[in-house]
Amino acid sequence: MKKFPFFALFIVVLVILPYLSCKSAPPAAQPEKPAAVPRALLDDLNAARARADEARKKAADFESSAYFPSEWEAAEAQYASAGRTPQNTEANVRDGITAYNAAADAYDSVFKLAIPLYAQAREDEIVALRNNLLAVGGKESFPEPLSAADKIALAALAQYEAEDYYPAKDSADQALMMYQTLTNTYNAWLARREIEEMDFISYDPDNFERAGEILNDAMTAYAAENYTLAYENANEALNRYNLVLSAGWAAHAEQYAARAATARQAALDVKADIAVRNLFSEADSIYKTAVSAMDAQKYGDAAKQFHTSEGMFVTAKESTLEKRGIAAQTIEEANKKIEESDETARLAELIIEGGAE
């Protein structure tokens, strides 16, 4: 029988002993896992976050940040802090719930401060537009459309008083759009009348014709209660009429500018800037304002100011010539009196000389 080699036994021991050691050693201690956060508590956190989001949106929709910027920033800081709260333990989740509710309360607080100011601002806008329409005869020009806008405005007021804020906001916005549509329509009519009176149609006939069509579309849309389309069309019609006016006044401004420049030079030629300094200075100030308006492409203003300054320069020239005429006549009369005085003295001298003989 063969003996088992010693070195083989040694190798077996080296291989088996570490394995036996691992099997016999006690397991290493594992870190304790945190207890899972209850689902109900996480639901409460989500509800608190949703409440804060809703309060934040409401405060933003009614422009709270514009009326109370400091309070809004404080609420924003609380909201951001709540979002940074960890959610790994029950305690942290409860802290997050508290933080989100505090942020919601802060947004609600600033909203309550802002809502009266927001509502008053909308009311002021509505009243201003309506009063302007009434002042220019809007009640006679748009009796039914104006009445429709009034009904929406009154509905908005009632909704605000009932604290039904979002419907009130929508009603107020609609009323504003309706009044603005009627305002733009009236202004478009005024522009059209001015174009016809000034005979400006030939300067931009395409825009003039298209503006009339779009204005009719605006009133059709208004009658169909499509107020957004009505507003857009009335605004476009007004813009097109203004383009026609701009083209017409640009041409007239150039003509008036040339005439005013000629009248100004004529006044300077007779020294009106010295003879009637105040009148010339006033005319020159208006002339320079017209030049600035022309550079700014405000052709209507420029044309009217050039026309005004032209008349004043003409008056300044005439006044200067009149003053010169009066002065010349005065000098002539003075010279005549001097001549008469000399003649009287000569006769007196002759009489005296005759008496001496």
Residue with tokens 């609609």: 174
Residue with tokens 């420029």: 302
Residue 330: its pLDDT value, please? 57
User: In the 8-state DSSP scheme, what is residue 224?
Assistant: T
Residue 342: its pLDDT value, please? 58
d(CA 66, CA 60): 9
The tens digit of pLDDT for each residue in 144-181 reads: 999 999 999 999 999 999 999 999 999 999 999 999 99
Q: Give the closest residue to 156 by CA, choosing from 168, 174, 170.
A: 168
Residue 325: its pLDDT value, please? 72
Residue with tokens 């083209």: 247
d(CA 89, CA 78): 21
- Structure pTM? 0.71
SS3 (DSSP) at 76: helix
Q: Give the closest residue to 94 by CA, choosing from 74, 102, 34.
A: 102
Angle at 162 between CA 161 and CA 167, to 5 degrees: 95
User: In the 8-state DSSP scheme, what is residue 25?
Assistant: S
CA-CA-CA-CA torsion sign (16, 19, 24, 25): positive
d(CA 46, CA 318): 86
Residue with tokens 């041409």: 251
Question: How far from each other are the two terminal CA atoms of the chain, in whole angstroms?
Answer: 206
Q: What pLDDT tens digit does each residue of the chain (357 aa) get? A: 444 444 444 443 334 444 444 444 444 444 445 568 899 999 999 999 999 999 999 999 999 999 999 999 999 999 999 999 998 899 999 999 999 999 999 999 999 999 999 999 999 999 999 999 999 988 898 999 999 999 999 999 999 999 999 999 999 999 999 999 999 999 999 999 999 999 999 999 999 999 999 999 999 999 999 999 999 999 999 999 999 999 999 998 999 999 999 999 999 999 999 999 999 999 999 999 999 999 998 998 999 999 999 999 999 999 999 988 765 565 555 566 666 665 665 655 655 555 544
DSSP for 228-285 reads HHHHHHHHHHHHHHHHHHHHHHHHHHHHHHHHHHHHHHHHHHTTHHHHTHHHHHHHHH
SS3 (DSSP) at 16: helix
